[in-house]
Structure 1
Amino acid sequence: MSLTGVCPLSFQEVNVEAGEMAVLQCPSYREYRDGDAEVFWTSHTVDEMKLFNMSTSAEQRQMGVLVHGGILVILRASVNHQGNYSCSFRNSSRRSWISLKVYTGQSRDSEQMNQISKVCYTEEYCQLYCPEKNVRFNTLNITRSGITWHKEGGPSPKDGYFPSVKKEDSGNYTCTRSYLYDGQIYNMTSTVKLDVQPNKITKKAVIILPENKQVFEVDLGSRVMIDCKAVMMSDTDGLFWLSGNSFVDTDTSLPVFYNDTRTEEISMTISLIFRKVSEEDLSKNYTCKLQSAYQTSFVTITLKQKAAPSSYFVALWIVGFVLMVMVLTAIIYAKFKVDIMLFLRRILGCHRTIPDGKSYNACLMYYKSSTDPGLNEDDRKRLESEMKYRFGYSLCRYSPDVVPEREAVLDCIKQSQTVVLVPCSEDSGSGVDLLNSIQASLMKLQTHVVLIKTETGVLSTSSSSEALKLCKAADCVTWKGKSSMLPSSDFWKLLRYYLPAPQRAPRAFI
């Protein structure tokens, strides 16, 4: 079951024996770590749905339920309490679900519910721990009232403690935690399965890590943790860190301290922690000492500052990095050089002046081609209009139907930064033959030439046209009909790339 607008987040399952106390905990999250944060509890049991936060304390007590923030306690669970419960924080769409299952003592699976396992070894001490919810019961006015242990058909250990456990002590032990609330006792029962195995402890305690006289390379100012791990013979064995001849403290506020962790019954690890490694720390010896009833052993370690990286490797890394950047830059430029150049022209404002004393950006000329159908009259007009009015180029041009004086054409070329050659069909006007007559002068002037050809046109090396021989060394742009009419087409981008910056700012940039 879920509610509109609420996002289910997690799911838990809680098992409890009928008649015992059940504790449901709403998971806390980073933004709701305050134990008193307002939490909404909802019961989705078979009987009805109840919002416990809307109930008074008296009503909750009558229902046998206590609610405090993220904790919901059912004092005596029954089958009527079985079902799903949900909790959510105020102003949060996240919801957590908890499934409560209530079983009876005669249930076939009752022994498997709330059962934990414990492994101990013969002739060793053994301490059984009765599990408990991590709950601040005092906030609910609930007080602890002791723990009782029981083993069916066998002696019950006092406080769950065996001074020297035996194989026959294996079995299931029931622990009952009692709690006092409002003058009544309520219980929570768990089962601990004890498995007593043959003793595997070696005849002497030994330090496994670190090695004696081991050197640890560290960075000055860094946080460092060094573990000392030992196999213990008994609970009376001790493991300590020493700095020189002085014991290291467990106070975490000190520059150097240690903490301990017992990972197994016969294993213990203590960690030497440096908050910030100093020069003084490098000059000291540190000893991990194992103290037992039979012997004392220890290992000594030292700290050493890490060597600075070799200048050779640093230089090699820098060279490699620079080469990688250069290769990537070359690849990016090769792929996007047209767009990059047009972008830089726009940003740098290169359209403001025409250099070298030129009057025009381009001289527009036409040539006949027997291998290229050329541009029709409408396409030529569209080409001229776009170059002049949209992109801001200053043009010197002659119509293919007009035959200008040779000197006038040469003067136009001299005053232009680039010559743009446009193909025309064989039946165009006589003006297209002018290029052949000025071909030698054009090559002598070394004017930049841009050739426009159609998609079906072919530049043949066997062509007798002097114009085509001149155009073999020119930059070439292909006109592809309708697709080239768009200002954002590849045709216009490439043509603008080959042409110099326009005299005035283009009307639009694509």
Structure 2
Amino acid sequence: MITKRVQSRYECGYCLARAGFITKLLGVYCAALQGIMMEKVVVIPMFLLLSSLTGVFPGSPTDIYVKAEEMVELYCPLNGEDNQRDAELIWTTHTSQEMDLTHNMSSAEQKRRDLLVHGRSLVIFKATAKHQGIYSCSRGNSSSQLWFRVTVNTKQRNESTHPQTCHTRESCTLICPNTPAENILNITSNSICQKEGETKDCYFTSVEEKDHGVYTCTRSYLYYGQIYNMTFTVLLDIQPKEKPEKYPVIISPHNSDVFPVYLGSTVVIDCKAVMYSDDDMMFWLSSDSFLETNSSFPVYYNYTNEINADKIQMTAALVFKEVSEEDLLQNYTCKLQTVTGRSSFVTIALAQKPRLSYVPLAVGIVSIVLVTVLTIIIYVRFQIPITLFLRDTVGCHSSTSDEKSYDAFLMCYKSDTDTGLNEYDRKCLESVLEERFGYSLCLYDRDVLPGEAVSEAVLDCIQQSRTVLLVPTSPETGPGSGLLSAIHAALVERQARLVFIKTEKTEGLRSGSLPHALQLLSEAGACVTWKGMRSMQPSSPFWKHLRYHLPAPQHAPKIRLLPQTSQDVTVWSNV
């Protein structure tokens, strides 16, 4: 009963306000008619007057529902007439009595009444029954006004429900409606969401059907240390996830592609597309004419399709049996015709590819062969000078230590003829090798202790040397054939290097004229010919050949061989 009386009271005030405003407007209109000449009679139908009032008084005010003790905001979007755009916005209340809230109410009075007028907004911080009624806003003295009817309820009504739609398996944020009051200085806000009394997160990482329902969204505002609430009802509707619309499309080739081909060759060009209906089709055109699928034609096409899940992969292959010059002048179009009407096409062309010339390839191969042969000839012809140059100048030789004491063991062997080296030639050989080229030689008559068994001493010298150098000498000196056979056996067993020096006369003898032991040694190692006086100079071919077959000198320190018998030990201790 009390609510009905209060409602009748503010509705009556609203009607009186409208009646008073109409009376004022009629007075202004009558005053304007007095200026018209008396001899002219102006007849204005009453319905025109009433129709002009429709812009001033709306058919009904905007209804705003608010829960008791909560905040509500009235927002006036009125711009006014052209000559009133800069005029001040005036808020008027028509609740118990008409009152200008803009000019007749101080800031302290507004705060006492839980009101705030700021810009286009009229904020009621805690709505009670005394705030229920009619409110209006106007721009200066403009005749245009906007009307609001505020109803305070203990429970929010359905008119304030805000619908929102989200899709399954997608993220979703419940939107608590924003109000212009957030732009008012010193007002900050945050929001919480509730469903059936249970506090929920306003953000869903992935919504499901169970999240459908009515949510209460409470937005809290902090203003000068006081918290004021606004409650909104949000109806969350969950819809199935919308599938993106798929359209058939040509994947390859691309429009304006040019394919290089050889004249007379067989060429196949695939046009690939993805479709979603069996009624879609793809075909080839030559200029403006359709190509056939009959393989008896010189140019035709065939197609294959592969059904994969919800899509169809189709391939239309354009086949040229033998590419002709006429084919090079045509444009070929692959067209995709669909039931949806979204047809697409690509146009391609052929270009003649120049024939490969084998002349550069042949010239290159011949050049490589000639260079290889020339390199081999030069190396074979100048193998010895090249090897000695790399060894002496560049230092290209093996430097790995083999724990040998001598570079070479120079041993004389008996010559059955007078073709051997004489004493002077042999001394010259030893001197040049040691002093001129830096070789460390093991000499029997110098580095073997007296009294040592000949065979054991020779074998020890071979063991301590990298190479065995056999020099022919007179029959009176040098080891016999039995020792030579032992030397050959030792060289074979230990894989030692052997250099066999011959003379010109020995070289002219037949291979069978040498003793068997010497014949085996000459065949086991490299042979170098001593040519008498012509071989004396260190720059002669003899020395080049000899150094080529000898290893590079290691400059190892000379070590005297230890004695092998008890008598030799006595002699060695007395030295």
Report if TM-score (shorter chain) is over 0.5.
Answer: no
Bigger radius of gyration: 2
- More strand as a share of residues: 1
How high is the TM-score relative to the length of structure 2? 0.32
